[in-house]
A = this chain, B = another copy of it.
Amino acid sequence: MAKQEGITFKKSENFSKWYNQIVLKSELADYAPVQGCMVFRPNGYAIWENIMKALDQKIKARGVRNVYFPQFIPESFLKKEAEHFSGFAHECAWVTQGGEKKLGERLAIRPTSETIMYVAFSNWIRSHRDLPLKINQWCNIVRWESATKLFVRTTEFLWQEGHTVHKTKEEADKEAMEMLEVYRDLMENYLSIPVLIGRKTEREKFAGALHTFALEAIMPDGDAIQLGTTHQLGQNFSKVFGIKFLDENGKEKYVWQTSWGVSSRLIGSIVMTHSDNKGLVLPPRIAYAHVVIVPIFYKKVEKDKVLKKAKEVKEILEKENLSVILDDREGYTPGWKFNEWELKGMPIRIEIGPKDVQEKQVVMVRRDIPEKVTVKESELLKKTKQLLENIQKNLFNKAKKLLEENISTVKTYEEFKKVLKNKKGFIRACWCSDSKCEEKIKEETGATIRNIPFEKEKIFSDCIYCNKKAKEVVYFAKAY
């Protein structure tokens, strides 16, 4: 019997080490032998596949079609939009040698694909009939990082980037706002993570955008994490790349554009939000499997009967598109397997022993809360689906409570700093809307403005930094 070592760090005591241990031991991912990079192992990649599947359906239903553009971006393209270039140039990986040949111009590996795509758009778009153009790509992205945090911050990561082109500002506004809703649905109803939505400040917006809108969540250690963004790009890129169309009256106009993306860091946020000191906890809708069946027997004659029943149960559930693992490995005790599957985050464990076979029942155990129920075989399918739904909702409700408890309202900079020191979370405060105050606060405390809420909230104090008249209520936090 292999020695089993569970999670040894506590979530409440050493969040960062606990997180790494969960990710590594549940075999979601591994460090790669290349600085800043990681390996998505099967359990982790399967979660990404489930996220892709859910989101891909939603965006295709909106008329978006998938594409694939080259990952190499000539430096001169990146440079075309000056703000964009200065935002990304310092974190690009550069290819300088192709085969035996030293390149005349170095190529960036895409940190995002606006520039390479928009050169093509300028060739594809001629008339109002070609609009709207809505495309998306699922791909790898490279942004050079010195620090590594599995899933959350790595030099190479996976994401999707949607890019849409419109005739009018209004259409582009609508697209950017509607995609926020698509993302919120994904995060809240699939990942069970509630989010705060709002507009980024000028300082925090995407390099090259007119406006950036963001979905922000809070993690149990009190740090915020940006889970997705949509950008109203305005005509910034279309003017630089010459993306024009003839409108219904034969008049030439520049297009309006949006881009939007979420990345594999979503997986990190799921792990942090839901897991506990026993290991991984996963929302069923994106879990790499739904149910593990652990057969329990001691004698050979029991074994055959129990395994036969276990296979029947597996089939019944699989017919309804549930993903089921039958753990019939030999040489491990049931107790050892229970621990292993708790560590690995299986939403439901079904135990079947000789008595259960006889009584036509199974024992079902939830991963999210300690609850063990005996279920009649005739109720198996119904009860499994119900439990999965309950787990999904329970995880969301717990996370929602966490979010609510982690929003503090402050009126002074002293209070602000005190909250940051003790509890962190989102800090709701009034701001004069001057970038200088924002900058100073970041320098002095590390906190940034995560969002300006869409629905303007009532001003309740002067600017917490300069004490001049406040113009906005905003949400600050330290962030991943």
Contacts and interface: CB of A to CB of B under 8 A. Distances in A.
Q: Which of A30, A69, A142 has the most CB of B within 10 A?
A: A69
Given A45-B66, A45-B68, A94-B97, A77 B156 contact: no
Given A96-B97, A99-B90, A109-B95, A42 B70 contact: no
Contact of A32 (B70, B92, B96, B140): B70
Interface stretch (A33-41, A163-171, A301-309, A428-436): A33-41
A217 interface: no
A34 B107 contact: yes
Given A67-B42, A67-B45, A120-B32, A96 B96 contact: yes
Nearest to A104: B35
Contacts of A34: 70, 72-74, 107, 116
B96 A67 contact: no
Nearest to A72: B34
How many copies of this chain? 2
Nearest to A56: B49
A430 to B, nearest CB: 37
Contact of A40 (B45, B68, B100, B101): B68
Interface string A387-421: 00000000000000000000000000000000000
A167 to B, nearest CB: 16
A96 to B, nearest CB: 5
A93 interface: yes
A71 interface: yes
Contacts of A98: 93-94, 144, 155
A69 B30 CA distance: 10
Interface string A80-122: 0000000000111111111111000011010000001001100
A90 B95 contact: no
Contacts of A331: 129
A46 B65 contact: yes
Nearest to A97: B94
A139 interface: yes
Nearest to A27: B124
A158 interface: yes
Given A32-B69, A68-B140, A94-B97, 13 more contacts: A2-B129, A33-B77, A33-B119, A33-B120, A34-B116, A40-B67, A42-B67, A45-B68, A48-B68, A93-B95, A95-B96, A98-B144, A139-B140
Interface of A: 2, 30, 32-34, 37-42, 45-46, 48-49, 65-74, 77, 90-101, 106-107, 109, 116, 119-120, 123-124, 127, 129, 135, 139-140, 142, 144, 146, 155-156, 158, 329, 331
